[in-house]
């Protein structure tokens, strides 16, 4: 284990510092790398004022660096009953198993998911096109909120939502911690026409 300096989020003096450190609700987060604390005469490292030393496991440091070119990944139908062309590629992990996963979904023009929820919280980043998103149990594509490439959305666990493409293809990266599942509101098809 190695020691990491942490700083109380309550001690930050600016909103930028709070955001950069990912602080919220009085949590403690790892501070940006700073000069290493000076050891005492006995060799022990001592935390500075308002700081605390926290051991961090380093087992994950044995994992290899991973690079993926999306032009080379294998996209497959996102659902066995899907005949509308929505495709998915598993980039890392496996949504059906415990642990972190990252998938990329392609929505062809005019196709959206229908109202559904997931049992896990999911984080979505739009990679290409405009992705249209809605909330609730009613499927109303005309009331969706557009998100452009680079925009982010969090799907809270258990909250009904629907999303996809209208005029152009939309590509999104979705991550979470599995096992994941999808429950469609009316038990019907997972995907439908948005136009």
Report the pLDDT averaged over residues 5-13.
43
**In this structure, is residue 178 part of a structural domain?**
yes
User: Could you give the count of Cα atoms lying within 13 Å of 44 in the half-sphere of its Cβ?
Assistant: 5
Q: What is d(CA 14, CA 167) in angstroms, rounded to the nearest whole number?
A: 41
**Within this chain, do residues 9 and 31 fall inside the same structural domain, yes or no?**
yes
Residue 135 pLDDT greater than 70, yes or no = yes
Query: What tens digit of pLDDT does each residue of 34-81 get?
Result: 555 555 666 667 777 878 777 665 556 677 888 999 989 999 988 877
What angle (nearest 5°) sits at the alpha carbon of residue 77, between those of residues 76 and 79? 135
**Within this chain, do residues 95 and 156 fall inside the same structural domain, yes or no?**
yes
**Within this chain, do residues 55 and 87 fall inside the same structural domain, yes or no?**
no
Domain count, the chain: 2
Structural contact between residues 89 and 104, judged by C-beta atoms closer than 8 angstroms = yes
Q: What is the pLDDT of residue 63?
A: 77
Q: What is d(CA 133, CA 112) in angstroms, rounded to the nearest whole number?
A: 9
Q: What is d(CA 27, CA 8) in angstroms, rounded to the nearest whole number?
A: 7
What range defines the domain where residue 7 resides?
A: 2-62
**In this structure, is residue 168 part of a structural domain?**
yes
Q: Whats the size of the chain, residue-wise?
A: 195
Residue 18 pLDDT greater than 90, yes or no = no
**In this structure, is residue 68 part of a structural domain?**
no
**Within this chain, do residues 182 and 131 fall inside the same structural domain, yes or no?**
yes
Residue 7 pLDDT greater than 50, yes or no = no
Query: What tens digit of pLDDT does each residue of 72-94 get?
Result: 999 998 887 778 999 999 999 99
**Within this chain, do residues 47 and 90 fall inside the same structural domain, yes or no?**
no
Residue 12 structure tokens = 């930050």
Q: What is the pLDDT of residue 151?
A: 98
Q: pTM for this one?
A: 0.67
Position with higher pLDDT, 55 vs 142: 142
**Within this chain, do residues 107 and 183 fall inside the same structural domain, yes or no?**
yes
Q: What is the pLDDT of residue 40?
A: 60
**In this structure, is residue 70 part of a structural domain?**
no
Query: What tens digit of pLDDT does each residue of 153-191 get?
Result: 999 999 999 999 999 999 999 999 999 999 999 888 899
**Within this chain, do residues 88 and 110 fall inside the same structural domain, yes or no?**
yes
Residue from 153, 156, 135, 60 nearest 100 by CA? 60
What angle (nearest 5°) sits at the alpha carbon of residue 123, between those of residues 152 and 103? 110
Structural contact between residues 168 and 99, judged by C-beta atoms closer than 8 angstroms = no
**Within this chain, do residues 107 and 33 fall inside the same structural domain, yes or no?**
no
The CATH code of the domain that includes 171 is 2.60.120.10
Q: What is d(CA 185, CA 169) in angstroms, rounded to the nearest whole number?
A: 24
**In this structure, is residue 49 part of a structural domain?**
yes
**Within this chain, do residues 103 and 19 fall inside the same structural domain, yes or no?**
no
**Within this chain, do residues 140 and 107 fall inside the same structural domain, yes or no?**
yes
Q: What is the pLDDT of residue 17?
A: 40
**Within this chain, do residues 47 and 80 fall inside the same structural domain, yes or no?**
no
**Within this chain, do residues 181 and 93 fall inside the same structural domain, yes or no?**
yes
DSSP 36: P
**In this structure, is residue 30 part of a structural domain?**
yes
């Amino acid at each position: 284990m190695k020691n990491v300096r942490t700083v109380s989020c309550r001690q930050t003096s600016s909103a930028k510092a709070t955001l950069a450190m990912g602080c919220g609700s009085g949590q403690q987060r790892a501070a940006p790398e700073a000069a290493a604390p000076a050891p005492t005469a006995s060799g022990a490292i001592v935390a500075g004022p308002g700081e605390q030393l926290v051991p961090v496991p380093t087992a994950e440091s044995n994992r290899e660096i991973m690079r993926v070119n999306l032009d080379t990944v294998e996209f497959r139908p996102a659902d066995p009953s899907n005949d509308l062309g929505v495709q998915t590629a598993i980039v890392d992990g496996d949504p059906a198993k415990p642990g972190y996963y990252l998938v990329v979904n392609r929505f062809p023009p005019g196709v959206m998911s229908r109202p559904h929820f997931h049992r896990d919280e999911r984080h979505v980043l739009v990679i290409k096109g405009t992705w249209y998103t809605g909330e609730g149990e009613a499927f109303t594509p005309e009331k969706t909120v557009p998100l452009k490439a680079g925009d982010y959305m969090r799907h809270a666990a258990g909250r009904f939502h629907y999303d996809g493409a209208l005029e152009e293809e939309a590509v999104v990266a979705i991550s979470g911690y599995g096992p994941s599942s999808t429950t469609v509101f009316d038990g019907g098809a997972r995907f439908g026409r948005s136009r």
